A and B are shown apart, each in its own frame.
Chain A
């Protein structure tokens, strides 16, 4: 126990020092404030549109659960992550082979550290930001406190569940498919109430039974995940028939930069499925929010504009995938400008994110008329181009760093809000003036795409200058 506590303290300190060194203590320390301010704006906007706090709470629990799923998956699904993601930054975890500590214990402590870290830096600001709007709509302080507790629980459920599934996958792929399929079948066929077994159930029904039933899976997965997970550290040598030339030929990719990015994503842990998964998270959240808004306000927002916008924004994760596996410094050795590198990355980004987004639009036709979704076919690629341009210009080839740099994060968030808020308002007011809002949304996303294209083109010279200074 003493060792566990010692490791926990060390990992927390390491995490803080890492970010302090990257961004400076004040910039990193200001991060929760930025989250709180941005979130408070969002809550207020939802309150003004007539969305009740309970509907917001439902959507947020879903969002945070999916966020937890992603956090739990990233960095924990294989040796690539161990070496390429955690190896550089997380000395304690990477030292598992040389420290006299079991991998399972290190992983459990790492998980706990991440949970505390995200609870303080992301979820606490969300809870605080929700308070003003919630109090105005008559929600009691006690219920706001409960909201924060169950929100942390939903996040923990996401993290521990994905780790457990990743752990199962290290032993048998079938062992993942079977329980997921059984659960899905139970929900669809007999209407099994899966929500009752999540922390959100406690928010809905503050009782001891709901608390035990809702948090039991979190505890179970927190134990199972580290126990099941087997780090792959064998020296098995993976081979691959040369695909570079063939793909480069098919894509007419002269510089090979797009092909390189596609191969990096498809051969790293999770392959192209991680793109589909992260877009699926956005799809699930959008569907949930649309349902909640309709239930709470009676409004029927435009699914095409909403899905197109949010899936386009969700392409940000694809940006981080296509830039994660190389170092900008590498390209300074080749006779190629960073402008060409960004152009190659943009192509790879669109080739990966658009089919995934379009697939989810197609899935949405199960619930919405295709006519209502058609506008999403235009909005999605245009918003995705904007997201690429903004990210490339603001964060360069190190997109994940902006998540923890307050100044970059605020600049990035403001640039996305500039387009996404009017688009989502357009989706909400769609029933009152369908043609005008549709034309307006397409026009806005077109302007955004042009701006994004220009920003993307300027990103190369900007970062080239920085690197050469």
Chain B
């Protein structure tokens, strides 16, 4: 069974078509990236797949759950790291992870907090109020919050923003190791090099439409993902439509 499957997923906001007939299948264990320019429908896709938004039409299945009919079941099963979101200002990272554990009804999350803090290198900041952390430290805390319940599937919108190069490498390593254990990562990014280096499959979206799918490791000789991106996005933009991220 695929971890994610969508059929003709469409989302309109008034006259604006943010997503048009998106059909995808993401097998378990894949490190999958949705790649697209700003405003191409990537965030909308994640929001629909995690039950945060309802599609206008089409169907979706996430780990066997229907995000429209049972959004809470999807959110119980997956981890989500949205773009540009910080941990709550007035909780410390330790308290925030305890809060996430409580809201996810985990029996005892405190024991694993130190491990996550070590893995993402914020142990010395565990008792600092989130409002006083740097952007990178907050992003690391948010990554831990997305993984703290050890889900089978994680959705991550722009995973490496605000992280220094060393931490970026560490996070990439974590994603690879996580998928090798049979788990699935669904990334949304507009950084081609991240998708090319990290992912086992890349879907390119433009103006809400799926325009290409590639395995970056199986590109033709001399072909680069950037060339595919340029060509496919360029072609799709010849027919003007609107979309938002």
Contacts and interface: CB of A to CB of B under 8 A. Distances in A.
Contacts of A332: 47, 50-52, 75
B231 interface: no
Contact-residue size bin, chain B (C-beta under 8 Å from the other chain): 35 or more
A427 B20 CA distance: 61
B63 interface: no
Contacts, number: 110
Interface stretch (A59-67, A126-134, A183-191, A251-259): A251-259
A267 B129 contact: yes
Interface in A235-257: 235-245, 248, 253-257
A268 B76 contact: no
B110 to A, nearest CB: 7
B98 A267 contact: no
Interface stretch (B26-34, B88-96, B222-230): B88-96
Nearest to A243: B95
A325 interface: yes
Interface in A67-92: 80, 83-84
A244 B91 contact: yes
A330 interface: yes
Contact count band on A: 35 or more
Interface stretch (A169-177, A334-342, A400-408, A433-441): A334-342
Interface string B41-55: 000000100111110
A239 B127 contact: yes
A56 to B, nearest CB: 41
B212 interface: no
Nearest to A327: B85
Interface of B: 47, 50-54, 71-73, 75-76, 80, 82, 85, 88-92, 94-95, 98-105, 110, 125, 127-129, 131-133
Given A263-B90, A325-B89, A334 B103 contact: yes
Contacts of B92: 239-240, 242
A256 B128 contact: no
Nearest to A337: B72
Given A264-B88, A334-B104, A336-B103, A238 B110 contact: no
B124 to A, nearest CB: 10
Contacts of A240: 92, 95, 127, 129
B88 A326 contact: yes
A116 B103 CA distance: 45
A248 B95 CA distance: 11
